């Protein structure tokens, strides 16, 4: 799994997730989003672009659940968008589509986040 900042504006950040969404190979004491964005990561609104995510496994779901909890605890928000069919099907099968905020594309994710397109 690779994370890359696509854009940052005000209090929201677009992050691209590529490869297999999994915690395989990630040390337990490391958190990829906090490592990428710093200690205040969970106070932000993070829009996760999943279009280049190949698959997601149970550890990847677990990671997203932990992230979701941390965002809630620190006043931030996580919105997943552009999930390919392989990832979207796992979300539906595990009923994560009811847990995570999801959007079809970046524009809808920004609307869901309340981001003003003109700002």
Question: Which CATH number do you get for residue 74?
Answer: 3.30.750.24
SS (H, E, C) 42-90: HHCEEEEEEEEEEEECHHHHHHHHHHHHHHHHHCCEEEEECCCHHHHHH
**pLDDT digits 0-9 by tens, 31-60:** 899 999 998 999 999 999 999 999 999 999
34 occurs within a structural domain = yes
Prediction pTM value: 0.90
Neighbouring-strand partners of residue 2: 18
CA distance 4 to 7: 9
CA distance 77 to 53: 20
For the chain, the average pLDDT equals 91
67 occurs within a structural domain = yes
Total domain count, the chain: 1
Query: Domain range holding 87?
Result: 2-107
Closest CA to 88 of 62, 33, 50: 50
112 occurs within a structural domain = no
Identify the pLDDT of residue 38: 93
């Amino acid at each position: 799994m690779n994370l890359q900042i696509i854009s940052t504006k005000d209090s929201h950040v677009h992050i691209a997730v590529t490869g297999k969404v999994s915690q395989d190979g990630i040390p337990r004491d490391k958190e990829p989003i906090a490592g990428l964005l710093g200690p205040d990561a969970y106070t932000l609104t993070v829009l996760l672009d999943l279009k280049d995510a190949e698959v997601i496994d149970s550890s990847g779901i677990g990671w997203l659940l932990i992230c979701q909890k941390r965002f809630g605890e620190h006043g931030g928000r996580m919105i997943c968008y552009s999930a390919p069919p392989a990832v979207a099907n796992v979300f539906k099968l595990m009923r994560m589509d009811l847990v995570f905020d999801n959007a079809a594309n970046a524009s809808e994710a920004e609307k869901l986040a309340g981001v003003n397109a003109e700002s």
